[in-house]
Each structure stands twice: as structure tokens, then as C-alpha cells.
Structure 1
Amino acid sequence: MRKVIVMTCLSFGLFFTGVFGENAASAASSKSAVTVAKKYIGTPYKYGGMSPKGFDCSGLVGYSYKKTGKTLPRTAGDMYKKGKKVTKKNLKKGDLIFFSTYKKGASHVGIYVGDNKFIHSSSSKGVKIDQLSNTYWKSKYYGAKRL
């Protein structure tokens, strides 16, 4: 009987460690992705770019997350298919922010950095931080996901 109780306790402990440990690891990689992306502020925009020589929007996001051990799909549209939907009021550092810019659906992506700001690779200015409340971005907002 004692062995059954001990094994049951160990099983529950391992289960909860796995569940909560994964969430903690996910939050840590999200915050780390923000730190990585910030290192590249000022890097020029390059269509299809996925390296510090030049990034497009999804290239920056994918590169930043890859440095934390997470592999994401290549395009903003495919990235939008991943993760869990998050409302604007519940955004956390590291959440992916999506915009509908040149076509219907998610066509631009950035990483939420906190304080109503996100980092992204702009086709006109390269990697930079912008306000979500900016008139342009506010009108193009499509949604957010948490990985």
C-alpha cells in the first residue's frame, strides 16, 4: 500500500512539473526572443531575409525564437496558425503580434515587448520598435498569439 501511495505522489509530481515547467520554459523563451530581437534594432529590411545581414518581418521573428530553441514556420501567415489566441489587453512580452497589411489575413508579424510596443522589421526602416496605438498599426491589427 505504501508503494502505491508513493508512486501516485511521484506520478502527480512529475505530471505537474511537466505541465508547469513547460509553461515556465515557454515564457522564458518568449522573453529571450525579445532580448535577441532588440540586438538587431537598426538592421536593414531585406525581403526574404532571415539573418543579421537583413530581415523581413517573419525572418526576424523566426530568427529570434530559433536562438531560444523554438522553430517557427517561415511566413507570418503560417506563424499565425501556431500558438494560442491572446486578446490585446492580455498581451505579454514575447507574444506574436499580427497585422493584415498588403493582403487579407496575417501578412506582417512582430514580437510584443511590453508597454503597448512591438518590435518588427519594417520594409521602410528595418528592425525597429513601434507603438501598437500608432494610427497605421492600429488600423492593420489582426490578432496575437502566445507560443
Structure 2
Amino acid sequence: MKKCILSVLVSLTVFLSGFLGTNHTYAATSYSMKAAAIAQKYVGVPYKWGGISPSGFDCSGLVYFSFRQAGKTLPRTAGEMYSKGTAVSKKNLRNGDLVFFNTNKKGASHVGIYIGSNKFVHSTSKGVKIDSMSNPYWSRVYHGSKRM
């Protein structure tokens, strides 16, 4: 009887694993959530054009650094990042999604990491900070979001 039950359980496990497969969405979400937590640790770090280290970040440098520390390498610039990932609507944002802004009339020119509660972390001329997606300026220049 025990062999029969064991055989059924093993068969059922093998059968179901074919349907479930590997959950790539979970892995992507895990990197993204880690990157969001990492970026928040650097609030207050000064802005540095081209900066990709804790001594100074530009916007895409903060995102690049945070994701790399989380184990995922992204392209270096906001525009290149925008060309990757899966588009996600503003109402479906999740912690770790990238939010893009058109600050110079040339497409995605600024990037931050969504951290939940309608907020995102990014680097501006005032350094790494957290802002609201509802801020009138950021609302007006919002360009789109991507899930990496």
C-alpha cells in the first residue's frame, strides 16, 4: 500500500511540474524587489553625471548599480533600459518596476525604480531621493513603465 501511495505521489509531482515549469516572473520580480531595496539605501547620495557608484549617481547609474547589486545587469542609459523589459501600465506597477520620464522631449530620458505606495526612488540634480508619482512635474513628464 505504501509503495502504491508513494508511486502516485511521485507521478503526480512529475505530472504537475510539467504544467508549472519555471517561474521566470518570480525570478524577475525577486531581482526587481531587491534592486528597489538597494536603491533606497542610497537616498541622500549626491548626483554625479555619469555616476554609477555610491560616491555619486545619475538617474540610470542608480538603476544600473542597484540591479547589478541584486544580480541582474541592465543596459546603462535610460533610453536603452526603456527598450528592454515588458511594458506595464501605471495602475499595475509593482515594487521594482522601472518608471521612465521624458524630461527633454526625446523619449525616455530619466528613470527611477517604483517602490510602492505611488512612490519611486531616483537620482536628480538634488541627489538620490524619493518622489511621488503624483507630483505635478513627474506626472506631466511620465513616459511609461517596464518590468524587467
Q: What is the TM-score normalised by the length of structure 1?
A: 0.88
Structure 1 residue ranges (4+ consecutive) displaced by more than 3 angstroms after TM superposition: 9-12
Specify every segment of 5 or more residues in structure 1 that has no aligned partner in the other structure, as ranges. Answer: 1-5
Secondary structure of the residue that 1:37 maps to in structure 2?
helix
Aligned to 1:91: 93
Give the drift of 1:13: 1.4
Measured in 2, the distance between the counterparts of 1:91 and 1:112 equals 7
Give the drift of 1:11: 7.3
Residue type of the partner of 1:13? S
Residue type of the partner of 1:129? I
Residues 111-126 of structure 1 aligned to structure 2 (within 5 Å):
111-123=113-125, 125-126=126-127
Give the drift of 1:17: 3.2
Aligned to 1:16: 20
Aligned to 2:137: 136
Measured in 2, the distance between the counterparts of 1:144 and 1:76 equals 11
Q: Taking every aligned residue pair, what percent have the same amino acid on both sides?
A: 58
Give the drift of 1:14: 5.4
Q: 1:101 aligns with which of 79, 100, 103?
A: 103
Residue type of the partner of 1:60? L
Secondary structure of the residue that 1:67 maps to in structure 2?
helix
Residues 55-74 of structure 1 aligned to structure 2 (within 5 Å):
55-74=57-76
Name the Cα RMSD after superposition: 1.7
1:85-140 residue CA offsets vs partner (Å, 9 max, x unmatched): 000000000000000002320000000001110000012x1000000111110110
Q: What is the TM-score normalised by the length of structure 2?
A: 0.88
Measured in 2, the distance between the counterparts of 1:63 and 1:14 equals 36
The structure with the largest alpha-carbon Rg is 2
Residue type of the partner of 1:66? R
Secondary structure of the residue that 2:28 maps to in structure 1?
helix
